[in-house]
Amino acid sequence: MDQDLQDFTDYLSRVAGKSPNTVRSYRADLSGFLHLMHLHGIDDPAQIDLATIRSWLAHEASTHARSTMARKTAALRSFFGWLSRHDRIKTDPTLALSSPKQSEHLPRILTHDQARTLMDTVDQDPVEPREDAKVQAALQVRDAAMLELLYATGMRVAELCGLDLDDVNRHSRTVKVLGKGSKERVLPYGLPADRALDRWLGEGRPVLAGATAKSSLKAGHALFLGQLGGRVGQRQVRKVVHQAAGQAGVPDIAPHALRHSAATHMLDGGADLREVQEMLGHSSLRTTQRYTHVSIEQLRARYKQAFPRA
């Protein structure tokens, strides 16, 4: 079954165009399942039936969130469906397997004022750096550019980290991102983000790119760099967002909350739902419709506060 799993993950990345995160998650889920099958003496996927799959999912559900179980179910359905289409098994045991219903949690967002406070805080000029503090000043300029771009475009963290220098068109103030399923989209950004990028490219990036001389990392064409000069990582970006929220005195958020906030604020400003769908790179309009629910909740809260007969 190891070869089946390897062939399937190759298919996901090379043919289906799934993101590296999806491929990695599916492989981890399936590896755990197939390892347990091996411990029970099952080494042929044709021997696995629906009852066995449901039993494993029920056991996993006791220690995992509903969203994680939905992903595990999707991984199993995708894997056995692929095996069936390639005649490695006669029948697909997951055909009658339904995905667990996900709770409709409204995404966490910042208010307009909180978002403005956050951006104003990160855009503050760094203290005139001493010679030994130039890297820290460069990091502050980088952090401001990253947060401005995340909020201005609603892009994902992985998309931000994957940006190269030539993905940014300063003339048209647009940036080209590579989203899920290797789908490209071009996103506009405003003047605040442009000013932050201008400062990063002119003052900050050259400093961090010079740090590669002291490390084994290479700056290459990456737009955003880490302290040692290599391409910035997702964990670094998440840390930056958390720290910036704390410094600004706004609710602690993850980078995805900036994406949620950008979408909701666009809808509040009159943007069309399909325009927001295109900006976020959602394949389904239903995913984007979550943000209309957020806007309605905000409207309801303002109504109760302001209307005398609420």
The catalytic residue positions are: 156, 180, 256, 259, 282, 291
Q: Which amino acid, one-letter code, is at 86? A: H
Q: For residue 105, give Cα distances in angstroms to 31, 112, 209.
A: 29, 21, 41
Rg (CA), the chain: 23
